[in-house]
């Protein structure tokens, strides 16, 4: 299905909506603001993500749209990501030079501002046909049909990894492991290697590993691809053992590139046996794996013995950061490049988002330096809502811990937390952050919420268990205080364990009252009393205490 990003001025929303409706009626997918911006998400980050994931951009250029700074920024992003742009010109006016610069090489369509539906239908047919033109050469490409599995994500620009890519390009057989923290660019490098390999006529297969994948499903899918290649002998394998034997035999005799992306997403431990089997045979195929850390089934001896090539990715260098900015049409002073590089630490996704923020706000050098503390919040929000949305269970627990601690997260913290491979290491990493407790409380809570909501919908049981673990972790480790009791009770409640939640409230009421949120405390006691009549004596005690303390009449009346 084709995906279109529709750029328009806010005053043209009705006309844009009519065009979008017709496009979606024709079976294509559209993204337009503000309709498709998730609640609580960063406006700029959502737009950048949508442009990056679109097949093409449609620009609705009325006179208002052509003079809109936001439309101009969106076209700049589309050009930067090498997305085709279809311009819909509405009205009679002089097209601004900056807009003309971005749309000059693409086809234009005209539409009357008060167009009837027939005109919009005709326009949409033209847009769907021209926004993503068919490459005639690709139709006769001799390697067509030699691609298998999924498709790697599109890359707007590939900067700073050429030396690494050239090194990996010399590998014509064997196992390759690309490692690095989340968002550092592992998938980009593997995807670029995939495209280069296929461009020289070598068959290529791409598979993003998911939690539901097992050794049999991956083996069957990869075998189906290999059997379709010229010269592959067809074997009717019976059973998983025979299928694996056939797969390994094919990998020993076939020149092909196979990429398994995001190895850490796998939950079936039997997959380790499949990876290890590939490592233990002499391959003619090149098998590329991406993972955040070296997997447990692979030893240091494997790398030393040359059985696997391990390529660890770090952040971009300062020079590469400067090239990245220049490629985004952001030529900046040496001092500002240093500042931006220091803020992002060369982290590819962070750098990309920061550039989009600078472009979206139209900031000059002085304004960027002043705005970086504010923009840094957008970077942290991007981490929480996008990078962290695919984290493992342990890493998700980091986010949940941060959510209750309300700790501001920096890129240094990110690196430390993502390298915590055990609960003990996780606790050690979070201790160093606790001094900044309560900072950015509201902002971080809003940033985490979309991730938690989405994960909760898909993994209700796991979320409940995580809440219980967090409650137990806090109750045994954290210093006793009203705020901690409140958090423990909250997590037991979220897990559906109201009995333990009520026990926390009733047992530690004094801590809650003196150190916590009194309104929440009153509501919690009321709820506990409603669930257990045994709490009635305590409620009478509390009522008397409130009256004796001469608290406001409303609070006292609440417990009567």
Strand, helix or coil for residue 207: strand
Tokens read off for 434: 């606790």
In a domain, 93, yes or no: yes
Residues 129 and 20 in one domain: yes
Residues 502 and 420 in one domain: no
- Residue matched to tokens 């742009």: 85
In a domain, 328, yes or no: yes
Strand, helix or coil for residue 176: strand
Write the burial class of residue 175 (CB in 10 Å: 0-12 exposed, 13-18 middle, 19+ buried).
Answer: buried
Residue after which a domain boundary falls, among 356, 385, 414: 385
Of 292, 339, 315, 320, nearest to 412 (Cα)? 315
Tokens read off for 346: 């060369």
Q: Cβ distance 451 to 399 under 8 Å? A: yes
In a domain, 138, yes or no: no
Of 307, 222, 220, nearest to 256 (Cα)? 222
Residues 171 and 270 in one domain: yes
In a domain, 61, yes or no: yes
Residues 308 and 325 in one domain: no
Q: What is the DSSP secondary structure assignment for residue 516, as one 8-state letter?
A: S
Residues 377 and 395 in one domain: no
CA 427 to chain centre: 24
Residues 305 and 325 in one domain: no
Residues 418 and 279 in one domain: no
Instruction: Give the 3-state DSSP-derived string for 83-115, with helices as H, strands as E and coil as C.
Output: CCEEEEECCCCCCCHHHHHHHCCCCEEECCCCC
In a domain, 226, yes or no: yes
Tokens read off for 556: 């006292």
- As a whole number of angstroms, the distance between CA 35 and CA 5 comes to 12
- As a whole number of angstroms, the distance between CA 23 and CA 29 comes to 7
Instruction: Give the 3-state DSSP-derived string for 26-62, with helices as H, strands as E and coil as C.
Output: CCCEEECCCCCCCCCCCHHHHHHHHHHHCCEEEEEEC
Residues 268 and 351 in one domain: no
In a domain, 139, yes or no: no
Q: Please provide residue 374's backbone torsions phi and psi, each rounded to the nearest 5 degrees.
A: -75, -40
Give how many domains the chain has, as a whole number: 5
First to last CA, the chain: 62
Tokens read off for 50: 């949508």
Beta bridge partners of residue 110, listed in sequence order = 89
Interacting residues of 344 by C-beta distance below 8 A, sequence separation 6+: 315, 321, 350, 351, 354, 379, 411
Of 119, 261, 121, 251, nearest to 188 (Cα)? 261
Interacting residues of 357 by C-beta distance below 8 A, sequence separation 6+: 44, 375, 378
Residues 217 and 270 in one domain: yes
Give tens-digit pLDDT for 113-134: 556 667 887 888 888 754 443 3
What pLDDT sits at residue 311?
92
Of 186, 188, 88, 183, nearest to 130 (Cα)? 88
pLDDT digit string (tens) for the chain, length 560 residues: 678 999 998 888 888 888 888 888 777 889 988 888 876 567 777 888 889 888 889 999 998 899 888 899 899 888 888 888 999 998 888 888 889 888 887 878 888 755 666 788 788 888 875 444 333 333 334 444 477 777 787 665 677 788 888 889 888 889 999 998 777 889 889 999 998 888 888 999 999 888 788 999 999 999 989 988 876 655 566 788 888 889 999 999 899 999 999 888 888 888 989 998 898 888 999 999 999 888 888 876 676 567 789 998 888 888 888 888 887 777 778 888 888 888 777 878 777 777 776 776 677 777 777 766 555 555 555 554 444 444 454 444 444 444 444 344 454 554 555 454 444 554 455 444 443 433 333 333 344 444 444 544 555 565 566 667 667 766 665 556 777 787 788 778 877 788 888 888 778 877 777 765 666 677 777 677 666 544 455 555 555 544 444 344 444 444 44
CA distances from 201 to 222, 247, 261 (A): 19, 21, 22
What pLDDT sits at residue 222?
92
Residues 92 and 21 in one domain: yes
Write the burial class of residue 438 (CB in 10 Å: 0-12 exposed, 13-18 middle, 19+ buried).
Answer: exposed
Give tens-digit pLDDT for 348-365: 877 777 777 677 667 777
Residue after which a domain boundary falls, among 251, 277, 312: 312
In a domain, 35, yes or no: yes
What pLDDT sits at residue 537?
56
Residues 165 and 296 in one domain: yes
Of 242, 251, 152, nearest to 196 (Cα)? 152
Residue after which a domain boundary falls, among 332, 354, 385: 385
Which domain does 492 fall in, by range? 459-560
Residues 286 and 422 in one domain: no
Give tens-digit pLDDT for 14-40: 888 888 888 887 778 899 888 888 765
In a domain, 63, yes or no: yes
- What's 55's domain CATH number? 3.40.50.10140
- As a whole number of angstroms, the distance between CA 396 and CA 400 comes to 6
Of 96, 78, 98, 95, nearest to 86 (Cα)? 78
Interacting residues of 107 by C-beta distance below 8 A, sequence separation 6+: 86, 87, 130
What's the alpha-carbon Rg for the chain, to the nearest Å? 28
- What's 202's domain CATH number? 3.40.50.300
């Amino acid at each position: 299905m084709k995906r279109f990003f529709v750029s328009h001025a806010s005053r043209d929303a009705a006309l844009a909506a009519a065009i979008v409706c017709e496009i979606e009626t024709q079976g294509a997918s559209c993204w337009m603001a503000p309709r498709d911006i998730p609640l609580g998400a960063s406006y700029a980050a959502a737009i950048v993500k949508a442009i990056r994931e679109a097949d093409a951009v449609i620009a609705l250029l009325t006179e208002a749209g052509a003079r809109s700074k936001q439309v101009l920024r969106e076209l700049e992003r589309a050009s930067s990501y090498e997305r085709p742009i279809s311009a819909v010109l509405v009205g009679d006016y002089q097209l601004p030079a900056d807009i003309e610069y971005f749309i000059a090489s693409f086809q234009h369509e005209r539409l009357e501002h008060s167009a009837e539906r027939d005109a919009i239908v005709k326009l949409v047919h033209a847009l769907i046909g021209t926004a993503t033109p068919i490459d005639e050469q690709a139709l006769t490409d001799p390697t067509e049909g030699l691609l298998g599995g999924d498709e790697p994500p599109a890359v707007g620009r590939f900067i700073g990894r050429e030396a690494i890519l050239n090194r990996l390009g010399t590998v014509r057989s064997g196992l390759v492991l690309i490692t690095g923290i989340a968002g550092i660019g592992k998938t980009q490098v593997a995807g670029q290697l995939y495209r280069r390999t296929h461009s020289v006529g070598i068959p290529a297969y791409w598979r993003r590993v998911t939690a539901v994948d097992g050794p049999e499903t991956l083996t069957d899918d990869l075998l189906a691809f290999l059997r379709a290649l010229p010269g592959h002998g067809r074997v009717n394998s019976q059973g998983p053992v025979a299928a694996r034997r056939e797969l390994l035999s094919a990998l020993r005799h076939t020149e092909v590139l196979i990429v398994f992306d995001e190895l850490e997403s796998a939950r079936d431990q039997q997959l380790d046996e499949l990876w290890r089997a590939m490592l233990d045979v002499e391959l003619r195929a090149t098998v590329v794996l991406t993972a955040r850390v070296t997997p447990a089934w692979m030893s240091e001896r494997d790398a030393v013995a040359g059985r696997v090539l391990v390529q660890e990715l770090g952040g971009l260098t300062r020079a590469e950061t400067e090239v990245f900015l220049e490629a985004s049409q952001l030529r900046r002073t040496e001092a500002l490049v240093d500042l931006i590089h220091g803020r992002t630490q060369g982290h590819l996704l962070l750098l990309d988002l920061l550039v989009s923020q600078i472009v979206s706000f139209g900031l000059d050098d002085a304004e960027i330096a002043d705005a970086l503390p504010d923009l840094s919040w957008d970077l942290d929000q991007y981490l929480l809502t996008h990078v962290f949305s695919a984290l493992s269970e342990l890493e998700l627990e980091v986010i949940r811990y941060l959510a209750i601690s309300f700790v501001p997260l920096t890129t240094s913290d990110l690196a430390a937390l993502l390298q915590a491979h055990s609960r003990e290491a996780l606790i050690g990493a979070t201790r160093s952050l606790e001094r900044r407790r309560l900072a950015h409380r509201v902002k971080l809570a809003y940033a985490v919420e979309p991730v938690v909501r989405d994960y909760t919908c898909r993994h209700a049981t796991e979320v409940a268990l995580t809440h219980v673990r967090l409650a137990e972790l806090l109750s045994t480790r954290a210093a006793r205080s009203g705020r901690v009791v409140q958090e423990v009770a909250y997590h037991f409640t979220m897990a559906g364990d109201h009995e333990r939640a009520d026990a926390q409230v009733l047992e530690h009421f004094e801590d809650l009252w003196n150190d916590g949120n009194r309104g929440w405390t009153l509501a919690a006691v009321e709820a506990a009393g409603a669930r257990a009549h045994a709490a009635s004596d305590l409620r009478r005690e509390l009522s008397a205490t409130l009256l004796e303390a001469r608290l406001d009449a409303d609070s006292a009346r609440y417990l009567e």
